[in-house]
């Protein structure tokens, strides 16, 4: 008899919790709609576009993490104030401001949105120069000349399976070739 009463209480409590969560969600939605109406910031089209790119998990990643690409705030700013300039071989997209309204020093701001993990070493040298105002024209308009001795750009491979691991490192069983003037370790006697 007691078990039935307890399970009945638990069931009532879980129903009450579900109703509370539903009321809280409705209230948050109403606040969101009101704020949307007053500020003019429309989040719904951005969320729809993100869902098209990869589902709801990616929407939450986009909202709450900055290291998985641009945040919603950055995407909104870029959408409103920038013009698409080009894309590099890694899939990174580059943008330039339409005007100097939000500039710090009178120059047009420039942005990069990374494809995948936000890692600055994924930016090739020609785009790096353009982002840092070394070049006035982007590589799409004025390609950078490359010499025969130059190697192609590679992002930082540290922490990946492709990272450099010299002989004697822990990954290679920690054994290294002995040198001619190798040291003798001290051992207490």
For 75-119, write each residue's pLDDT tens digit: 888 888 999 999 998 899 999 999 988 888 889 999 999 888 888
Query: What residues make up the domain containing 53?
Result: 16-64
Residues 6+ apart with CB under 8 A from 161: none
* Pair 70, 144 in one domain: yes
CB 114 within 8 A of CB 70: yes
* Pair 76, 54 in one domain: no
CB 69 within 8 A of CB 62: yes
* Pair 41, 115 in one domain: no
38 lies in some domain: yes
Q: How many domains does the chain have?
A: 2
23 lies in some domain: yes
* Pair 72, 137 in one domain: yes
* Pair 88, 105 in one domain: yes
* Pair 76, 147 in one domain: yes
Instruction: Report yes or no on whether pTM surpasses 0.85.
Output: no
Model confidence at 41, pLDDT cuts 50, 70, 90, reads low
């Amino acid at each position: 008899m007691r078990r039935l009463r307890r399970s009945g209480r638990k069931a009532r409590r879980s129903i009450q919790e579900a109703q509370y969560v539903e009321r809280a969600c409705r209230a948050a939605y109403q606040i969101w709609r009101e704020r949307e109406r007053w500020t003019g910031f429309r989040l719904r089209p951005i969320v729809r576009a993100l869902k098209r790119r990869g589902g709801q998990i990616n929407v939450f990643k986009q909202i709450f993490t900055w290291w998985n690409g641009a945040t919603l705030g950055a995407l909104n700013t870029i959408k409103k104030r920038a013009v698409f300039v080009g894309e590099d071989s890694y899939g990174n997209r580059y943008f330039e401001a339409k005007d100097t309204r939000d500039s710090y020093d009178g120059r047009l701001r420039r942005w990069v949105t990374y494809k995948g993990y936000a890692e600055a070493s994924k930016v090739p040298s020609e785009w790096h120069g353009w982002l840092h105002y070394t070049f006035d024209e982007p590589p799409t308009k004025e390609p950078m000349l490359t010499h025969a001795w130059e190697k192609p750009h590679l992002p930082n491979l540290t922490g990946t399976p492709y990272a450099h691991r010299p002989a004697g490192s822990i990954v290679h069983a920690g054994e290294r070739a002995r040198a001619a003037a190798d040291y003798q370790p001290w051992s207490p006697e």
